[in-house]
Amino acid sequence: MPNHIFGRSTKGTLPTAVSGEGCYLIDSTGKRYLDGSGGAAVSCLGHSNAAVRAALHQQLDQVAFAHTGFFTSAPAEQLADTLVAHAPDGIERVYLVSGGSEAVEASLKLARQYFLEIGQPQRHRVIARRQSYHGNTLGALATGGNEWRRAQFAPMLVETTHISPCYEYRDRADGESLEAYGQRVADELETEIQRLGPDTVMAFVAEPVVGATAGAVPAVPGYLKRIRQICDRHGVLLILDEVMCGMGRTGHLFACSEDGVSPDMITIAKGLGAGYQPIGALLCSGKIYDAIAAGSGFFQHGHTYMGHAMAAAAANAVLGEILNTGLLARVREQGEKLDAALRRTFGQHPHVGDIRGRGLFRGVELVQDRDTKAPFDPSRKIHAKIKAEAFAAGLICYPMGGTIDGQRGDHVLLAPPFIITDDQIDELVSKLSGAIEKALA
Ligand code: PMP
């Protein structure tokens, strides 16, 4: 049979997934794969969760889709209420979309429209960080830090500049306290705002825990608070992208609540639908919503599938599982166990430079030399070899190469389902260890 799919499976070399059971995916040959990264931090409840399946069947029997230009729906209303009830202070409105890039794209447009409505049309610039991924649509792509992803599409539609991420393993100076480091790196935002001209800057966008591009690198304590102060000083909106680290992944429904920060907007997706439905959301403050309500009264945006009843029903069931069955505490507990197992196995490894993360969002960074932290030569493609070896051994994990500047090592991102057991943590770490040894051989 010819392969007509245009995308990652074009080569026709991928196995066919046929079923899922808890933390495992099963292919058409019967081979089982432990889902150590929830795909890409998506499958937070594992596969074939009974409550989500039941909710989807029930919703399908009622109504699947009713266009939001004509109707609202009970699942969409319920979802917005639950998200706002658990969101950081000041977050009052929810805009439902179908994924992470759409949520980020909507946040950029909402920021722009907000400043138009309040009579500051000159504010259009975005500041983000070099180590970041915010999606693949044109606005989100402009915001992400990865130069090679952007290069062929330049010039970008959104004018964005990039400052340093908060990455203490790489960038904290000898003898510098965590607090001093956090302030120093946050102060790059102040410098950049001054350089661009404070009244031209619209928003600062960041992931509280950097996911795919860095391997679960959390902000150090105090960093995001300092960022919040700088944004407030200059009237710049703070947009936190929790598409990967949100929805309980760090042990808190919203990762930024651990940092004690209330942003102006939060983007979520991935774990919100947990893989059962494509869904994302943009959450925003009452201040932003009120400015638009008092002005033109209408956010100039919209997607056909926004607020889809099936997607919202899945998300409600996912949130029900996360919030009502003790899963957040479990994420923190199993996250500590995963961290301990990683440290037992790799703590003395000559090529493991750093083990970090929060909750069930963990990263392992590989280096050529532990003392100098020099990364492996990118041409060795260590990350790709780890991915292939792990997959062959029946483990799904999420390795990525160092960045283009050559300053960051290959890393492996781990984001298993929240239901992972102690034995499955051991299986994950032991298979990962085998894959790393083969990749380095
Ligand atoms: N933001 C972050 C932090 C992400 O990790 C991703 C996806 N990896 C996105 C945005 C884009 O989400 P999607 O792939 O659902 O468009």
Tens of pLDDT, residues 120-137: 999 999 999 999 999 999
Is a pLDDT exceeding 90 seen at residue 404? no
pLDDT at site 402: 73
pLDDT at site 14: 87
pLDDT at site 378: 87
Q: Which residues of 256-287 are buried (b: 16+ CB within 10 A; e: fewer)?
A: bbbbebbbbbbbbbbbbbbbbbbbbbbbbbee
From 250, 323, 279, 252, select the one nearest 51 (Cα to Cα).
323
Distance CA 209, CA 103 (A): 17
Average of per-residue pLDDT across 104-121: 98
Distance CA 221, CA 200 (A): 29
pLDDT at site 13: 78
pLDDT at site 408: 78
**Amino acid identity at 59:** Q
* pLDDT tens per residue across span 168-203: 999 999 999 999 999 999 999 999 999 999 999 999
Q: From residue 52, how far is each of 5, 223, 245, 322, 325 by CA, in Å? A: 28, 37, 21, 11, 13
Tokens for 30, please give them: 């019967």
* pLDDT tens per residue across span 83-95: 999 999 999 999 9
**Amino acid identity at 16:** T
pLDDT at site 163: 97
Task: Read off the pLDDT band of 45 (50, 70, 90).
Answer: very high
Distance CA 313, CA 60 (A): 9
pLDDT at site 68: 95
Beta strands in 13-74 (DSSP E): 17-21, 24-27, 32-35
Q: What percent of the chain has pLDDT over 70?
A: 97
What are the chain's domains?
Answer: 17-48+326-440 (3.90.1150.10), 54-324 (3.40.640.10)
The 8-class DSSP code of residue 136 comes to: S
From 126, 37, 76, select the one nearest 420 (Cα to Cα).
37
Distance CA 248, CA 388 (A): 28
Protein residue whose Cα sits closest to atom 1 of ligand 1: 134
Number of neighbours of residue 310 by Cβ within 10 angstroms: 23
Is a pLDDT exceeding 70 seen at residue 405? no
Quote the mean pLDDT of the chain: 95
From 290, 289, 270, 288, select the one nearest 279 (Cα to Cα).
270
CA of 268 to the centre of ligand 1 (A): 9
Sort strands 217-218 and 352-358 into parallel, antiparallel or unpaired: unpaired
Is a pLDDT exceeding 80 seen at residue 234? yes
Which range among 251-260, 298-307, 349-358, 373-382 shows the weakest confidence by mean pLDDT? 373-382
Mutate to test the pocket of ligand 1, among 217, 270, 305, 400 (most ligand atoms within 8 A of CB): 270
Q: Is 279 in the pocket of ligand 1 (CB under 6 A)?
A: no
User: Which residues touch 43 (CB under 8 Å, ≥6 apart)?
Assistant: 20, 35, 274, 275, 417
Residue 294: phi and psi, rounded to 5, are -75, -20
Task: Read off the pLDDT band of 1 (50, 70, 90).
Answer: low
Q: Are 90 and 286 in contact (CB under 8 A)?
A: yes
Q: Is 273 in the pocket of ligand 1 (CB under 6 A)?
A: no
Ligand 1 atom closest to the CA of 99, numbered from 1: 15
Task: Read off the pLDDT band of 11 (50, 70, 90).
Answer: low
pLDDT at site 5: 73
Ligand 1 atom closest to the CA of 211, numbered from 1: 5
Task: Please calculate the CA angle 87-278-114 and round it to the nearest 5 degrees.
Answer: 50
pLDDT at site 17: 95
CA of 246 to the centre of ligand 1 (A): 11
Protein residue whose Cα sits closest to atom 12 of ligand 1: 100
Q: Is 211 in the pocket of ligand 1 (CB under 6 A)?
A: yes
Q: Is 135 in the pocket of ligand 1 (CB under 6 A)?
A: yes
Helix ranges (H only) for 118-177 are: 138-143, 147-151, 168-171
Average of per-residue pLDDT across 399-411: 75
Task: Read off the pLDDT band of 409 (50, 70, 90).
Answer: confident
Number of neighbours of residue 90 by Cβ within 10 angstroms: 13
Q: Is the pTM of this model over 0.90?
A: yes
Strands ordered across the beta sheet of 125-129: 91-97, 280-285, 265-268, 237-241, 201-206, 125-129, 160-163
pLDDT at site 6: 72
Is a pLDDT exceeding 90 seen at residue 107? yes
Distance CA 72, CA 310 (A): 13
